[in-house]
Amino acid sequence: MATEIKLPSLGDGIDSADVLELFVSEGDTVTKDQGLMELETDKATVTVPSPFAGKIVKLSVAAGQTVAVGSVIGEIETTGGAAPKPAPAAPAPVQAPVAPAAPVAATPAPVTPAPQPAKVVVPPPPKPVVAPQPAPVAAPAPVVAEVESEYEGVIPAGPAIRRFAREVGVDLAGVVGSGEGGRITREDVLAVVRQGQQSTKIATLPSSPASASSSAAPAAASSKSVSTKTSSALPGTAAEDDYGPVRVEKMSKIRKTIAAQMHRSWTNVPRVTNFDDADVTELEIFRQSSKDDYAARGIKLTTMPFLIKAVATALKHHPSMNASVDMENEQIIYKDYVNIGIAVDTDRGLVVPTLKNVERMGIPDIAQGLGDLSTRVRNNDFGVNDLRGGSFTISNLGAIGGTYSTPIVNVPEVAILLVGRTRRMPVVMEDDSIKPRSMMPLSLAYDHRLVDGGTAARFLNEIIGYLEAPSRLLLAI
């Protein structure tokens, strides 16, 4: 008898999600907790596991569809024919039921355990596919071959890798994983992209008449394969408007969330931006003298932990910068905690994970926490709760390049600090001498409904004071 599979709760305040990809098809046999599909919520992606072991007899959703929490996403015929309401009978291998239930009754001996996920059985890497005729010298041994998948329909790759492969136009079915248990890594996908780019260059290189005939066939084949990959990497679906060809793409859940949040901020917050520079020459000397000690502990010491600590300390002295405005109830809410959001530019869009209770942390703790947070964001290993609870936001434009900007306040917060790329500049010193100094550009945008210009200037000056004399951070109260 088939049992309905319903979309479980995805977190507080989340009532729906978009289906990014289905990992199984009707008729597939799955194990308990095997991933069925990947969903996208506001700014995070989640994998929906199978609550039971058994055979998928029906899928009620498709990629691109919006699914409500609690709705039926499919049906499964559980192993052993368990009834839908009680906890499903587990296969013979030791595996406890998920739902509250009485102990599992004795299972008939002939019951065959459900097949294990393909990632456990790692096939040997396929031999490089080499054409009989001589191949161009510059092309490396193929990482991806045009062969059928050897994983029986289950590709050993996590949700983040699957999404990345879709965006760059790589078919994971032919990629050989180099990770643990044969799992496909980001580097494996990048190797395929690099191979395609190099093959394209070889195919387009001018050749002499003598060599043209001998290399025409492999070059054409390589060009055809690469063109298929690279064309699919372009976003959107081909279409036409009144003026020519266009590409149309449905807005992702994260892009819709960003758009709504930016519109909310732009239409409700009268913002002002203050620009200034911090002389971080001494900070750089201080950081350089300590970074090896941190590296020995596996921590990368950048200027960001110092900036975060400076902001957290200044926020304690300027409570109106660490607050929110409740116009509906005509009140101001001052935060006694300091949770700093770090704006991160990801391949999916802008994500702002939150480093919580920063006011209680020292530089080593912040550096460690920032490293862990960055790793989880890069691997898409974070939940919705990691994006909530912020009281102030820092955006690091310098990591990409650029100096000043006018960042949009991340409502309901009342301020955001953007840091640009530190650059060497000639500076007139107090004794009128001119010296090269490392200058960090800062752009502070704030909600003028609550924050006045004088308050913002004093707040930014305090941050600059900490950055220009980093030893003050060790003594700050």
Q: State the pLDDT at residue 91.
A: 46
- CATH 3.30.559.10 describes domain 255-475: yes
Q: Is the pLDDT of residue 101 over 50?
A: no
The region of weakest confidence among 105-109, 190-194, 271-275, 369-373 is: 105-109
Cα separations in angstroms, 470 against 156, 236, 287, 302, 474: 47, 48, 9, 13, 8
Which residues, other chains included, contact 381 with Cβ-Cβ below 8 Å and sequence gap of 6+?
A: 160, 375
Q: Which two tokens stand for residue 107?
A: 């299972």
Considering only residues 205 and 327, tell me which one the structure prediction assigns the higher pLDDT.
Answer: 327
Q: Give the fold, CATH level 3, of 2-86.
A: OB fold (Dihydrolipoamide Acetyltransferase, E2P) (2.40.50)
pLDDT at 208: 44
- Give the pLDDT confidence score for residue 474 in this predicted structure: 77
For the segment 39-55, the average pLDDT, to the nearest whole number, is 80
What's the confidence (pLDDT) of residue 125?
Answer: 44
Residue 100 has pLDDT above 80, yes or no: no
pLDDT at res. 166: 73
Q: Which helix (H) or strand (E) holds 313?
A: helix 304-317
Greatest mean pLDDT among 159-163, 245-249, 351-355, 444-448 lies in 444-448
pLDDT band at residue 443, thresholds of 50, 70 and 90? very high
Query: What is the pLDDT at residue 219?
Result: 43
The predicted-structure confidence for 159-186, as pLDDT tens digits, reads as follows: 667 777 776 778 887 788 887 767 788 7
Encode pLDDT of 3-36 as tens digits.
888 888 877 667 788 887 888 888 888 888 888 8
Q: What is the pLDDT, as a whole number, of residue 233?
A: 62
Q: What's the confidence (pLDDT) of residue 199?
A: 59
The mean-pLDDT minimum among 84-88, 185-189, 221-225 falls in 221-225
Domain 120-235 carries which CATH code?
4.10.320.10
Torsion of CA 452, 455, 456, 460, to 10 degrees: 170
pLDDT score, position 285: 92
Residues 170, 187: Cα–Cα separation, whole Å: 12
The predicted structure's pLDDT at residue 197: 60
Residue 202 has a pLDDT of 52
**Residue extents of the structural domains in the chain:** 2-86, 120-235, 255-475
Cα dihedral 460/462/463/464 (nearest 10): 90
What pLDDT score was predicted for residue 149? 37
Active site residues: 448
**Percentage of the chain lying above the pLDDT 90 cut:** 30
Asked if 310 and 466 touch (Cβ cutoff 8 Å), the reply is: yes
Mean residue pLDDT across the chain: 77
pLDDT in the model for residue 150: 37
CA separation for the pair 418, 395 (Å, rounded): 5
Name which residue leads in pLDDT, 292 or 224. Answer: 292
Q: What is the DSSP letter of 441?
A: E
Separation in Å, CA 23 to CA 119, 275, 397, 427:
13, 49, 36, 58
Give the pLDDT of residue 452. Answer: 94
Residue with more model confidence, 346 or 56: 56
State how far the Cα of 220 lies from the Cα of 135, in Å rounded to an integer: 12
**Averaged pLDDT, 370-391:** 83
**Model confidence at 477, in pLDDT bands (50, 70, 90)?**
low
Q: Does the pLDDT at position 397 exceed 70?
A: yes
Query: Is residue 361 a contact partner of residue 311, using CB atoms and an 8 Å limit?
Result: no
| In the predicted structure, residue 206 carries a pLDDT above the cut 90 | no
Residue 224, sorted as left (phi over 0), alpha (psi -120 to 50) or beta, turns out to be alpha
Model confidence over 122-135: pLDDT tens digits? 444 444 444 444 44
Instruction: Give yes or no for a contact between 161 and 185, defined as CB atoms under 8 angstroms apart.
Output: yes
- Which among 7, 5, 101, 115 has a CA at the least distance from the CA of 58? 5
3-class SS of residue 17: strand
pLDDT (tens digit per residue) in 242-263: 998 999 988 877 788 888 888 8
Alpha helices (runs of H) in 205-274, residue ranges in sequence order: 209-233, 253-268
